């Protein structure tokens, strides 16, 4: 594609990366480097990278589907479905990180089907950092509560809902929802600044937001973006929710329902055990995803996103 990805990963000291561009309805993808400095297995277009908090967009979409199905009111108390939370907390608060819930709770609730439920119960018992609706508090834990809403209101386990409502309809096969599935694919491993692989592929299953172990290829992440661009019912998720956002170092100047709002579009970032992921969608219906297996991935992503968003075609 002429993106010089191989040169760029060497320049930015990133072992491996993928980039995908959605433009004029077509997806163009490129891969370079190695999945792990230890194994030296080559990165290919169908390799999987952990996308960290980009998973929040998938959780938010499942939440919106509950609204579309008439099962959930974004402005009704979460406690209508999940007893123990304050009556002033709503799903809209959780989607916009204004729920007042601490950023990260560390409850290892295991890997069984009750893990998210037990985690959500523990969050409720821990109480609020601040009152819901009184300020922006980015919260991974808040999205665990949304994951539990998906389970309770939708009537199925979170990962089952993820597969039934999104992964299968989008015909995505380059994807893994946990480590057991990831091992069946060419899967990237994270690296620290000096290029050394991290000790563990992921944080403990029970100590992260719903679906945080999600891994996917950049080119198939574009199918999720295409869904959002083509489905008018999901457009409201990208609308500004009037949230005052502090400088998070991500470029976000506002928030939608799950989506970060940038000055020139929307998207999200993701960090997970030595891997960094970046997604940007502009007003011209172009999207770029850059997935890296290094904590050094941000300058590489900024370079590619800035350059590709200036061009209609790669």
d(CA 74, CA 24): 33
Q: How many CB atoms lie within 10 A of CB 41?
A: 15
Which among 217, 257, 252 is positioned nearest to 236, based on CA atoms?
257
Judged by DSSP in three states, 255 sits in strand
Go through the chain and tell me how many residues it has: 314
Paired strand residues for 290: 19, 278
Which among 8, 61, 36 is positioned nearest to 307, based on CA atoms?
8
79 is catalytic: no
Catalytic residue among 23, 36, 47, 53: 53
Q: What is the DSSP letter of 164?
A: I
d(CA 2, CA 314): 7
Could you give the residue numbers annotated as active site? Answer: 53
């Amino acid at each position: 594609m002429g993106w010089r990805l191989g040169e760029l990963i060497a320049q930015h000291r990133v072992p491996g990366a993928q980039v995908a561009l959605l433009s004029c309805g077509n997806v163009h993808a490129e891969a370079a480097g190695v999945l792990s400095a230890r194994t030296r297995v080559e990165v290919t277009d169908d390799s999987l990278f952990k996308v960290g908090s980009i998973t929040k967009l998938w959780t938010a979409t499942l939440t919106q589907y509950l609204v579309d199905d008439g099962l959930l009111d974004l402005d009704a108390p979460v406690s209508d479905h999940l007893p123990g939370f304050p009556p002033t907390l709503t799903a809209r608060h959780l989607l916009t990180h204004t729920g007042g819930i601490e950023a990260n709770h560390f409850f290892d609730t295991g890997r069984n089907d009750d893990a998210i439920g037990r985690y959500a119960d523990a969050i409720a018992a821990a109480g609020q950092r601040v009152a819901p609706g009184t300020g922006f508090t980015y919260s991974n834990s808040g999205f665990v509560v949304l994951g539990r809403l998906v389970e309770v209101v939708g009537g199925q386990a979170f990962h089952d809902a993820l597969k039934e409502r999104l992964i299968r309809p989008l015909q995505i096969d380059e994807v893994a929802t946990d480590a057991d599935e990831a091992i069946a694919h060419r899967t990237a491993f994270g690296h620290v600044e000096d290029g050394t692989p991290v000790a563990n592929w992921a944080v403990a299953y029970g100590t992260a937001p719903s679906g945080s172990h999600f891994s996917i290829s950049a080119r198939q992440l574009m199918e999720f973006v295409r869904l959002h661009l083509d489905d008018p019912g999901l457009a409201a998720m990208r609308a500004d929710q009037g949230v005052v956002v502090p400088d998070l170092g991500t470029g976000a100047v506002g928030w939608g329902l799950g989506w970060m709002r940038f000055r020139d579009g929307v998207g999200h970032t993701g960090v997970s055990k030595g891997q960094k992921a970046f997604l940007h969608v502009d007003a011209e219906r172009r999207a770029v995803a850059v997935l890296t297996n290094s904590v050094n991935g941000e300058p590489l992503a900024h370079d590619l996103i800035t350059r590709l968003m200036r061009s209609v075609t790669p």
